Structure 1
């Protein structure tokens, strides 16, 4: 079962990052592109991490 979908993440605005001049270099691997002075976050990668985190929490509390 998927915890979230790409559509839900898009509707929630999860893909909007910080302004390009205020970014943290450690986040480079999660940034998909830059648009209008803001970074756009890779939602496919984010969704994978959300699913992995959900599974970890589910196993931890079980």
Structure 2
């Protein structure tokens, strides 16, 4: 899988989390801070965990495993479908 850079995460707006009033305490370790009522996600942790997830998926597929792509947001549906089809996997 292709690696991703901190710059690419920033440009994609990955660091923008939910509004602060929609707090989930389980996310505490991954929150860098808050600004203008929005949580800012810790991109260093995101990058590390992205690499771990990427390695896991690569190893799973190498062993013949199956991946289910899930896209519940309307804006992600097309990309989820296209990438699942491209990789010969399933999607919802």
Please tell me the TM-score bracket, short chain as reference.
over 0.9
Aligned residue for 2:51?
Answer: 51
- Where does the alignment leave 5 or more consecutive residues of structure 2 unmatched? 63-92
Deviation, 1:15, is 0.1
Deviation, 1:2, is 5.9
Aligned residue for 1:10?
Answer: 10
**Runs of 4+ off more than 6 Å:** none
- Where does the alignment leave 5 or more consecutive residues of structure 1 unmatched? none
Give the number of the structure whose residues are more often helix, by fraction: 1
After superposition, residues 17-32 of structure 1 pair within 5 angstroms as 17-32=17-32
Query: RMSD of the TM alignment (CA)?
Result: 1.3
